Amino acid sequence: MGVLFKTTIYAPDKKAADEAFEAAWPAVIAFDNALSDYKTDSEINRLSRSSPHAQFVPISNVLRQLLTRSLELSATTRGAFDVTVGPISHLWRAAIKRNRLPDQKKIDLSLPSVGTNNLELNEQGVRLLQGGMQLDFGGIAKGAAADALLFALKSSGIEAALVDASGDITVMGTPPEEAYWRIAIGARNSEKTMQLNMGHGAVATSGDAFQALEFQGTRYSHIVDPRTGWAVTHTSMATVIATDGATADALASACCVLPAPEAIALIEALANTEARIVTHRETNIRTDESPNNPNRTSLKTVTQSSGFDGYLAK
């Protein structure tokens, strides 16, 4: 998936930790082989190249599980998160490299291939209904792979572990003699670092801190609104806490797409989910938070969750 994974494991000894990790890591490899946007032979790239499909195409269990969850989250976010965004996200990725805006005509030509209405999923497999479709799981794959890794570690007898998937943190259990994992969410400019005490769950942050295009005084994020085809210009960082990594990852992306008040309303309507959204307007910084997420050290997620149980790579 083009990012670094770091895993912290508490076990009786190093040998037990090493053996558990070696047994669990293939779960992440399975996600990478299925969902990577960078491997030409990944399952989603092969599937996308063969669109449109007259018949349903059989898919792996990994892709089926995450596609099912992605469709649920797309409905929840009213299209702000959408894994069919690939044709548009690729245009913006190239634009950022060239340091110039994408051509509006290319965006207009790509938009008909974006949208979950162009995708059908059933027990036989999946159909992509439009030519030129490109699945892009960049907004959820890291969190889901972390979920799978933790589930596999749990299956090997590990009770406490943390996965850092390029800044997206997913945890289970707690360190020995500790009530929580203590996690700091980094800040930009004059923002305050957010300190979290987490007993079980995930926290993901999305934004334009590292990937963006500055053009004629406007900062365009690498995060794209699937509904319009245009990059986000109004949010610099969204942090979401949820019961599992896939949900936190996807909702953080959606919260960057939606205006902050709308994003907070979305989070408030969901169980066991919290968020902080920081918006930069020139020299002004605005922070919006869900009611249970003041910027202090008491924020926690639920103590038990079966969230990542559904993403075990088979």
pLDDT per residue over 210-253, tens digit each?
677 777 777 788 889 999 999 888 777 899 999 999 999 999 99
Can you tell me the distance from the alpha carbon of 87 to that of 136, in angstroms, rounded to the nearest whole number? 9
Superfamily, domain 174-302? ApbE-like domains (3.10.520.10)
Q: Which tens digit of pLDDT belongs to each residue from 159-205?
A: 999 999 988 999 999 999 998 898 887 665 555 677 788 878 999 99
* Domain residue limits, the chain: 174-302
Q: Per-residue pLDDT averaged across 76-85, rounded? A: 96
Q: Give, for 69, the enclosing helix (H) or strand (E).
A: helix 61-76
Confidence class of residue 295 from pLDDT cuts 50, 70 and 90? very low
pTM over 0.95: no
Question: Using CA of residue 112, residue 114, residue 117, residue 119, what is the dihedral sign?
Answer: positive
Check residue 213 and give its pLDDT. Answer: 77
Query: 83, 136 in Cβ contact below 8 A?
Result: yes
**Partners of 275 in the beta sheet?**
240
Residue by residue, DSSP assigns 208-277 as SSSSEEEETTEEEES-B-TTTS-B--S-SEEEEEESSHHHHHHHHHHHHHS-HHHHHHHHHTSTT-EEEE
pLDDT digits (tens, 9 = 90+) for 84-134: 999 999 999 898 888 889 999 999 999 999 999 999 999 999 999 999 999
Q: State residue 176's pLDDT score.
A: 92
